[in-house]
Amino acid sequence: MKRRYIFVVLLSFLFLTFATLQISAQNTGDEPRLEADPQAYVFSDDLDTSDWRSLFSLAWWASGAEEWEDAADEFAPAVMKLTATVVEMDERQKAEFVLEYMHKSFLGSYRLKQTRIDTLLETGGYNCVSSAVLYSILATAVGLDVSGVNTSDHAFSSVRIDDKQIDVETTNIYGFDPGTRTDFQDNFGKTTGFSYVPPGNYRDRNQIDIMKLFSLIIQNRIADAESAGRYSEAVGLAVDRWVLLGGGRGQEFEDLVTRMLNYGTLLSRAGREADALDWAKLAVQVYGTHPKWDEFIDGVANNLLVKLVRSGRLDEARSRLDMLRPRLTDKAVAALNFMVSDSELIAALDDVKSGGSEPDFLRVIGRIKEEGVVPEDRIREVEVNWRLYRLDLIAKTEGWAAAYEAAEDAIMETGPDPYLERARRTYLSNQKAELYNTAADKFNRRQYEEVIILMQNAIKEFPDEEIFRSLLSNTERILAGN
């Protein structure tokens, strides 16, 4: 008996390198199943790999079919016929005959995605996995020691004869010990589109046990479900496969996390960020933390808060951030806190420029300064923007002189600033131009006495402005009759 892996596990921690999701306006479906089918535990603990009925039941269940006991009874006559035929053969002859028997009795046409054993027996359609599984069942029935081999995109069987592993490319009737047969080489690639990976290419192939070989049925069903947009279904299947292979933190667990993350991504891309975060919380409660969940939660929280900020719901964004803070990485908290605080700053600026309360604006400025989330340069930029807005209002309502004086006061309060200093110079220049233009207009109207008074006052305020002295001198000469 294998020790059953405890279902709820704990672990410590890059938005997962997701299997690329082609998600549009798809239905997210029912909530995924996070508990394994109880039968997965039964097979994981009690599978008898030397009994063809046990293997048949596993293959039937992994295919998603029901009533495997009845199906095994229906399959039994074919097994009896096979065993009776090979009784006088040696192991090598048996292994080769099983492949020929399987092709002549069950296999019809090669179908790339037909991984289910029930469909194979019903229709004759098969692929590398379903044919390797069927071969394993039949080979076990005649007493052979059979296992599996998988590559990055292919699977086949292997039998141990005289302490030597012999490949069996089950998709091809000539596939026994294929490296030695030219009829196989001529036929195989045309049938499947795959290339045979010989035993010497150890980096390109992996020897796997019966359980892992049969689990490829579920793995292919997972891929089919996701390619059809059934991400919820894929999660439950991944749970079953993980439990079937004993649990733990290996590649099967990483695959399970990927399936769960893909479903969460589906929710998020459907605009259901809150549901995606709830899903992440539930998955973490059941299966423990993982670095990929941290990045997922950070990403979804960012999308949610961006949506709230863009719609002007800043109070809700702040509230959400406070609630999510314990679940976010420090980096995400800092970035999102900055985004919300900066948005509050801009919103307060927009409000005060639209006639809102200046004390309220200054309170927001003070709070954000105190929090220390937004850099001082950014706060100063907003504050200067507000002061420039106020100066323009003063210029429009009270004139250039008042705006100039207000700019002087602002610089004294905040310290030197290029924008405030440029505004001050502009107001001063406009003030001088306004004085001169007023006097010039009166000069053109022959109101010389008023011109003299205006220019005398202007010279007192701006003693170095030659243009004022020149207009005063010209006006005085006219009055003197020169």
Closest among 184, 226, 163, 316 to 18, alpha carbons compared: 226
Read off the pLDDT of each residue in 105-123 and give the average, rounded to a whole number.
Answer: 95
Residue 123: both structure tokens together? 């229709």
Strand order in the sheet with 145-150: 164-168, 155-161, 145-150, 206-208
pLDDT score of 179: 74
Residue 223: both structure tokens together? 């891929």
Read off the pLDDT of each residue in 163-183 and give the average, rounded to a whole number.
Answer: 85
Dihedral sign from CA coordinates of 331, 333, 339, 341: negative
0.85 surpassed by pTM: no
pLDDT score of 205: 84
pLDDT score of 3: 30
Q: Is the pLDDT of residue 169 over 70?
A: yes
Q: Is the pLDDT of residue 6 over 70?
A: no
Return the half-sphere exposure (C-beta side, CA atoms, 13 A cut-off) of residue 283.
30
pLDDT score of 480: 87
Q: Is the pLDDT of residue 340 over 70?
A: yes
pLDDT score of 31: 87
pLDDT score of 68: 80
Read off the pLDDT of each residue in 275-288 and give the average, rounded to a whole number.
Answer: 95
Dump pLDDT digits (tens) for 230-258. Answer: 999 999 999 999 999 999 889 999 999 99
Closest among 379, 40, 68 to 237, alpha carbons compared: 40
First-to-final CA distance of the chain: 125
Q: Is the pLDDT of residue 283 over 50?
A: yes
The more confidently predicted of residues 301 and 197 is 301
Amino acid at 430: N
pLDDT score of 482: 61
Phi/psi-derived region of residue 414, left when phi > 0, alpha when psi is between -120 and 50, beta in every other case? alpha
Confidence of residue 22 (pLDDT cuts 50, 70, 90): very low
Closest among 255, 333, 332, 327 to 293, alpha carbons compared: 327
What mean pLDDT value characterizes the chain? Answer: 89
CB-based contacts of 233: which residues, under 8 Å, 6+ apart? Answer: 29, 32, 225
Rounded to whole angstroms, the Cα distance separating 305 from 456 reads 62
Residue 407: both structure tokens together? 């700019």
Dump pLDDT digits (tens) for 399-429. Answer: 999 999 999 999 999 899 999 999 999 999 9
Closest among 221, 223, 207, 213 to 244, alpha carbons compared: 213
Residue % of the chain over a pLDDT of 90: 83
Q: Is the pLDDT of residue 334 over 50?
A: yes
pLDDT score of 192: 58
Q: Is the pLDDT of residue 16 over 60?
A: no
Closest among 137, 56, 69 to 102, alpha carbons compared: 137
Q: Is the pLDDT of residue 28 over 60?
A: no
Read off the pLDDT of each residue in 439-465 and give the average, rounded to a whole number.
Answer: 94
Q: Which of 169-173, 252-256, 417-421, 478-482 has the least mean pLDDT?
A: 478-482
Read off the pLDDT of each residue in 212-240 and give the average, rounded to a whole number.
Answer: 96
Rounded to whole angstroms, the Cα distance separating 220 from 225 reads 9
Give yes or no for a contact between 14 and 292, defined as CB atoms under 8 angstroms apart. yes
pLDDT score of 199: 54
Q: Is the pLDDT of residue 197 over 90?
A: no
Read off the pLDDT of each residue in 306-322 and give the average, rounded to a whole number.
Answer: 95
pLDDT score of 468: 94
Read off the pLDDT of each residue in 354-363 and give the average, rounded to a whole number.
Answer: 93
Residue 459: both structure tokens together? 């010279």
Q: Is the pLDDT of residue 387 over 50?
A: yes
Three state DSSP letters for the chain = CCCCCCCCCCCCCCCCCCCCCCCCCCCCCCCCCCCCCHHHHHHHHHCCCCCHHHHHHHHHHHCCCCCHHHHHHHHHHHHHHHHHHCCCCCHHHHHHHHHHHHHHHCCCCECCCCCCHHHHHHHCCECHHHHHHHHHHHHHHCCCEEEEEECCCCEEEEEEECCEEEEECCCCCCCECHHHCHHHHHHHHHHHCCCCCCCCCHHHCEEECHHHHHHHHHHHHHHHHHHCCCHHHHHHHHHHHHHHCCCCCCHHHHHHHHHHHHHHHHHHHCCCHHHHHHHHHHHHHHHCCCHHHHHHHHHHHHHHHHHHHHCCCHHHHHHHHHHHHHHCCHHHHHHHHHHHHHHHHHHHHHHHHCCCCHHHHHHHHHHHHHHCCCCHHHHHHHHHHHHHHHHHHHHHHHCHHHHHHHHHHHHHHHCCCHHHHHHHHHHHHHHHHHHHHHHHHHHHCCCHHHHHHHHHHHHHHCCCCHHHHHHHHHHHHHHCCC
Furthest C-alpha separation in the chain: 144
Dump pLDDT digits (tens) for 136-168. Answer: 999 999 999 999 999 888 999 999 999 999 999
